[in-house]
Structure 1
Amino acid sequence: MRNELDLIQILKGIDPARLDYLGWTNVGMALKHEGYTAYDWDQWSARDSARYKSGECYRKWETFNEDAGAIVTGGTIVQYAKEQGFEFKSNKQDYELDWDSEISAESLVIIDENWLEDRELNEPKDEQWNPTHEIITYLQTLFESTEHVGYVTSTYENDDGRFLPTKGNYDRTAGQLIEALSKANGDIGAVLGDYNPKAGAWIRFNPLDGVDVKNQNVTDFKYALVESDTVALERQNAIIRELELPVAALVYSGGKSVHAIVRIEADDAQEYRKRVNYLYDVCKNNGLVIDTQNRNPSRLSRLPGIRRNDRKQFLMDVNIGKSSWDEWQEWIEGVNDDLPDPEPLTDVFDNLPELAPPLIEGVLRQGHKMLMAGPSKAGKSFALIGLSIAIAEGGKWFGWNCTQGRVLYVNLELDRASALHRFKDVYQALGIPPNNVGNIDIWNLRGKVVPMDKLAPKLIRRAQKKDYIAVIIDPIYKVITGDENSADQMAHFTNQFDKVASELGSSVIYCHHHSKGSQGGKKSMDRASGSGVFARDPDALIDLVELELTDKLLDHERDRNTARIYAEELEKRKPDYFEEVVSEDDKLSKAQMRTYLNNVLSKKDVSQIDVRVQQLEKEMSNLSAWRVEGTLREYPKFPPVNLWFNYPTHLVDEVGVLADLDPEGMNQQTWKKNFSKKKTAEERKSERKEAIETAYNTLDLGDEITIDELAEYMGVTEKTVRNRIKEHGGFWIDEGIVGKK
């Protein structure tokens, strides 16, 4: 079975010529261990044309045994790729997300390498080849007749025995060269100068000013060179054509590469650099590793119509692919953006798609997002545990019916033992038998938390085959990236929930805290801490605000619950008497039920019941009341739901005694100016120190921490981070890496 990472894709980032013999054999052993074939090894090895010998890979393959896999595995290939600068990116066509992959915005991947067929170069036979015609065609295709052309036929030999080009000529125009070549009767040397057949000849593909051959002498930034020495020739030819690069001329170099002269059509040097960077990114992400030295606009390319080491530098094609840069870029992004095309409403008006089924009836649909917000003492984690149980068992949550299914609870705050105990405590307090406890998975991440943009791909990978209908993340402050008051940064943060929901097809439910201060006078959408993005992003917002309990109401609730216990105990001990004598009104009266107990039960029985009542009163000493309000995108607004929170469960107020209570702070003058004392300079300095320490400790996962990572986490500039580190005095900076002294 193959490794989940496609090693063939990763091999594209490894140049076999840069490995020694041991490294080459290690790649072969790793491929065999991971279930690949000798053909795969041979195809990759052929990229090192200087050392490649046909059939050698197949002979060597038979000598490898499985014992080698204990040391040499697919990880060996991954390491070689990393050492040569290979970047691991998400590509759903090629391989699944790695454990530590990040979900990138746009990978610009067009080609499915699994279906790409190599394309022969079709070198012309001697009797068919017309070198002069090829040079003239090249010049006519790339240049205006009045533009100066730089070309090189003279060379010198370096200490390694390589022939290198001189500055060459640049004083004639394309028109002058074409006219002279047309009259030369095939004597190219008479026009361009004789060249060394061991070295070949070169030409500069952008026009010059006739003064020199440097970048500043380029008069029009028309073209860029796409060339790769590390990919097989036939594969280069296939990729260039499959990408529909706007190629003006395609030339075989006579060596290991095809030279594509690509239309860039930039207005100036700055735009040229941007477009070439974009072009090279597209090529690299589609398997064509480019020599980065080719970015130079005055770069030399191979001149067609020339021989080099008994091989032809020949013109393969002209004017292929898209006709212009703009057309090509629009096509690339149109193919790559994964966005649907607009659709006319008339096509679907009478045949609308079905809505996603509900997860929480009347509140949230499956595959949608929900935020639950509340203050620290609202028991939010217990509420979400209760929701997990309601989904797993197909029960009710806050009075709403839940669809039964599998749920993943991502625990970011509690240690493992505490989290597991809480689930059992809530099950028992609710009195629900754990018939479907297997529907609940808990992912305990306390002490292992990473920012959400790095957590999302890890979560998706682990959950892809689990068929969860809900993923609950508690709490999100542990994984927030950046400043929670920044709308832009929080939009990026909440987008990660969209990715999880869309990749898994499950609802994503997450928990956040209220801002500081009284919340009673605020609307539910304005209570969550930080940017308003938090409240506006989810499809459902469930907000808990505390109600102000009066002593009278608490006494009434204690009496009502005591009466309930008395009634339960009396019915259990004297069922006939209970049925014949006790009325419905009596069941609600503490005093009347106590009289019944004293009349028909022994003092021992009454004492046992009193123990249970005392336990109830102890539990109710921490009783609190809450109102659930919400803002929904898919359903009509629901009337407020009133709850009792009696640790560890929330129970709906079925009687209605909480309906007339006001939230805490409702009667305060929330508009009143805050005259609290301003912070001193020392206090502000202390906060800045604490902020840099918090950011560093959060990002400290055993790897190096960079200035950029700290700036991104804190939502400030790199300069601000440097100033704060200097002010703190407890950290060092070395070439962008930050560490503690």
Structure 2
Amino acid sequence: MEHKLDLIALLTYVDPAYLSYQEWVNVGMALKYEGYTASDWDDWSKRDMGRYHPGECFKKWTSFEGTGNPVTGATITQMAKDNGWMPRSGRDDHELGWEDEISGDYVVVDKNWVEGKEIHEPKDWNPVQQLTTYLETLFEASENVGFVTDTWQNDDGKYLPTRGAWDRTAGELIQLLNQCDGDIGSVLGDYNPEAGAWIRFNPLDGRGVKNENVSEFRYALVESDTMDIEKQNAIMRELELPIAVMVYSGGKSLHAIVRVDAANYDEYRKRVDYLYEVCRKNGINVDSQNRNPSRLSRMPGVERKGKKQFIVDTKIGKGSWEEWQNWIEDINDDLPDPEKLTDFWDNMPKLAPPLIEGVLRQGHKMLIAGPSKAGKSFALIELSIAIGEGANWLGWACTQGKVLYVNLELDRASCLHRFKDVYQALGLPPRNIDNIEIWNLRGKSVPMDKLAPKLIRRAAKKNYIAVIIDPIYKVLTGDENSADQMAHFTNQFDKIATELGAGVIYCHHHSKGSQGGKKSMDRASGSGVFARDPDALIDLVELDVTEDLFKQEENKAICAIYKRYFQQYNPQYLENSVSQDDELSAKAMEEHSRRAIYNTEQSAAQEEIKRAVKSVRGRSAWRVEGTLREYAKFAPVNMWFQYPVHKVDDVGSLKDINPEGDAQHPWQKAAGKRKDKAKEQRRSKAEEFEDAVNNCNMGESPTVKDLSEWYSTTGKTVAERTIRDWIAKYGYVIDRNNGNVVVKKDSDDHENPPQ
């Protein structure tokens, strides 16, 4: 049966392990409604081996009865869409249906200009040699071969094959053929010369001739009986199809047995999809009924209505599926041709407009790196607001436009409240909040290579000028220390930027240890790809604030509060009695307040001062450094992080403060590097585990499950039982109240003993 959309192909996008029981049942009902079989449902369900029970699909299948409101194939289509599949109208690289068309050109041959290539019947007709060559080319000696010599006639008088035989190996058949004195009928059984004979091109398991009995998904059949034989031959050869053997059917077509070398049935279907569509694109009208791996093909060495079925050629085209597919892809790649500089010297293309003035252009990528307490998420929210409102971000002007903030970590309510809190702390009126859209994906995030196409599809018509993804550890795939795996990961940001023309901004955490003595590009955790891939790297390093500086900041805050109260309640006293020096002294301003304002206002001021001092002590200081690809290097920006926003240090209080752990003299820096290197070489499992605890949940106390998932992203599978052993071994305990891992105190912890 042919279907408008191949639902089995669509189900490759749907993992049954992530479906509820009812959703799983809906898939079965939809398949039955659309004319598929219980075997199709059963084969797909096997992907969830944790819940799969043999025979359950077939038992359930019989209970599906028609209703007035049936579950149709649209249910499966929507599931596939939700998991990244897109129809042709959305994009061009979706899973192919049997009658669908591949998206790329994939055109190698212009059939209108192809000259036919003749085929020639063998001069010395040797049926044994024909069949022996076929068997030796396609099969191992120990593999079972299916063939048919018996036929029956339908009502139209057409000869059709029976199930045939499948009980002998290729080696047995070859031996018997070599001993039969040219009488192949004594080996295979006599055939009807009006009908010819058939043979199955894939090896069988010796128990039957269905798809489930195919033991190796090695070959596929390409046949067309609607075009000239000579033209079929020419096009197949120009396409360089990896043909193991080509047989003339004795009728209107050639049977090309094409090497596909699929690992399993699912891969076989995908490769046959690809093969058939490339053939169609190049003028071969493939008979799609031949797609099954257990399909019969015409047997060489026999006659059919006075014509011989014979081998035209063997080992045509490329030597393997991979070689052929790479050749097809290379011919049809979408890479641009080299350009001459002289062609553009006097007419240079326009540069992409700036997104962040002096830092990042639209359509480019930016990474913000820093430790967990730097407030990177708040910085990204501040940037979202700055772009939405056309305001400044850390002193840089931002182009106004629509921005998408992809929230992977916070629950929806917390994220929305955080945006409002930042707006209020910045003192910005929400005049253009319609420019800011938030995609809340906590608990629904998928690896970046699957998230990227979903994001592109949803954002295609929104005209975003920036996409902000926070945080990337939630969608990180592979080992972050592997350059090639991280290159594949960061390539997903390129796809988003290229497809949408929007700036892509994301953040990553620092590696463990002091960062002050390192260059900005060396601070991000994992492979150097993280720092070298983006067009702009914004790096945050904490400054080591002294007690004297904290006291200065407290003094400023106190003086500002008193001055405001004087201006409100006794401006004349402020003008006549408070000197400029007094305005800079908290102690002097306090003395003046006792004389200048009433006790009630003075008491209110004291309460406000308490809050201000507490806020000052809650600040952290940061230096912003960067490495830019499109702009000149900027001078470091110093700022305070005072929850929930960052404030640039415009007065220069922080300019002479060193980053935490920064050595002041060259010899100290050199010594520090040697120590760091030695320490790195001595890293123990305990330190690795400490890294995992500190980093896997972005600074928050992780659960055992968080730790297990963290190790899995590095390619190392660690059982939860092992993690619990490490918790006890390396000085941690599990908090019974919330199930989080916490650092074990020096004193005995009797309230929360390890579990």
TM-score interval for Structure 1 and Structure 2 normalised by the shorter chain: 0.5 to 0.7
Q: Structure 1 residues 243 and 598 mapped into 2: Cα distance closer, same or farther (>3 Å)?
A: farther
Please state how far the C-alpha of 1:457 moved relative to its aligned partner.
2.3
The answer for the alignment partner of 2:256 in structure 1 is 261
Equivalent residues, number = 592
2:535 is aligned with 1:539: yes
CA distance in 1, matches of 2:720, 2:405: 37
2:239 is aligned with 1:245: yes
Identity of aligned residues (%): 49
Structure 2 length normalisation: TM-score? 0.62
2:283 is aligned with 1:283: no
SS of 2:557's partner is: helix
Question: 1:498-513 residue pairs with structure 2 within 5 A?
Answer: 498-513=494-509
CA distance in 1, matches of 2:344, 2:705: 53
1:569-612 C-alpha deviation (Å, 9 max, x unpaired): 33344567767887776654445555654554333333323322
The answer for the alignment partner of 2:403 in structure 1 is 407
Structure 1 unaligned blocks of 5 or more? 1-5, 15-21, 30-66, 83-87, 120-132, 178-188, 206-223, 271-275, 701-708, 731-741
Q: Which region of structure 1 is more displaced relative to structure 2, 335-344 or 513-522?
A: 335-344
CA distance in 1, matches of 2:233, 2:712: 36
2:73 is aligned with 1:74: yes
CA distance in 1, matches of 2:237, 2:328: 8
Q: Structure 1 residues 485 and 111 mapped into 2: Cα distance closer, same or farther (>3 Å)?
A: closer
Match of 2:333 among 328, 333, 337: 337
CA distance in 2, matches of 1:91, 1:304: 47
2:430 is aligned with 1:434: yes
The answer for the alignment partner of 2:149 in structure 1 is 155
SS of 1:462's partner is: helix
The answer for the alignment partner of 1:361 in structure 2 is 357
1:430-459 C-alpha deviation (Å, 9 max, x unpaired): 111111112222222222232222222222
The answer for the alignment partner of 2:221 in structure 1 is 227
**Contact between 2:473 and 2:508, CA under 8 Å: does it hold in 1?**
yes
CA distance in 2, matches of 1:24, 1:601: 81
CA distance in 2, matches of 1:695, 1:171: 70
Please state how far the C-alpha of 1:155 moved relative to its aligned partner.
2.9
- RMSD between superposed Cα atoms in Å: 6.0
Q: Structure 1 residues 238 and 578 mapped into 2: Cα distance closer, same or farther (>3 Å)?
A: farther
Please state how far the C-alpha of 1:110 moved relative to its aligned partner.
6.0
Question: 1:562-641 residue pairs with structure 2 within 5 A?
Answer: 562-574=558-570, 587-591=583-587, 593-594=589-590, 597-641=593-637
2:640 is aligned with 1:644: yes
CA distance in 2, matches of 1:365, 1:507: 7
Q: Which region of structure 1 is more displaced relative to structure 2, 385-394 or 673-682?
A: 673-682
2:455 is aligned with 1:471: no
**Contact between 1:548 and 1:661, CA under 8 Å: does it hold in 2?**
yes
Task: Write the letter of the residue equivalent to 1:416.
Answer: R
Structure 1 length normalisation: TM-score? 0.63
Question: 1:70-469 residue pairs with structure 2 within 5 A?
Answer: 70-75=69-74, 93=88, 96=91, 109=102, 136-137=120-121, 155-156=149-150, 162=162, 196-201=192-197, 227=221, 245-246=239-240, 253=249, 258-261=253-256, 280=272, 282-284=274-276, 286=278, 291=291, 293=293, 301=298, 307=304, 332-469=328-465
Please state how far the C-alpha of 1:554 moved relative to its aligned partner.
1.2
1:663-689 C-alpha deviation (Å, 9 max, x unpaired): 00013752324399975799989999x
The answer for the alignment partner of 1:715 in structure 2 is 715
The answer for the alignment partner of 1:36 in structure 2 is none
CA distance in 2, matches of 1:94, 1:252: 40
Please state how far the C-alpha of 1:531 moved relative to its aligned partner.
1.3
CA distance in 1, matches of 2:148, 2:641: 89
**Contact between 1:394 and 1:402, CA under 8 Å: does it hold in 2?**
yes
**Contact between 1:225 and 1:261, CA under 8 Å: does it hold in 2?**
no
The answer for the alignment partner of 1:212 in structure 2 is none
Please state how far the C-alpha of 1:488 moved relative to its aligned partner.
2.0
Please state how far the C-alpha of 1:714 moved relative to its aligned partner.
3.8
Q: Structure 1 residues 710 and 430 mapped into 2: Cα distance closer, same or farther (>3 Å)?
A: closer
Q: Structure 1 residues 147 and 583 mapped into 2: Cα distance closer, same or farther (>3 Å)?
A: farther
Task: Write the letter of the residue equivalent to 1:639.
Answer: A
**Contact between 1:695 and 1:714, CA under 8 Å: does it hold in 2?**
no
Please state how far the C-alpha of 1:383 moved relative to its aligned partner.
1.1
Structure 2 unaligned blocks of 5 or more? 11-28, 37-65, 136-145, 154-159, 167-172, 202-217, 263-267, 281-285, 697-701, 726-755
Q: Structure 1 residues 596 and 13 mapped into 2: Cα distance closer, same or farther (>3 Å)?
A: closer
SS of 1:70's partner is: coil
Task: Write the letter of the residue equivalent to 2:634.
Answer: F
**Contact between 2:31 and 2:72, CA under 8 Å: does it hold in 1?**
no
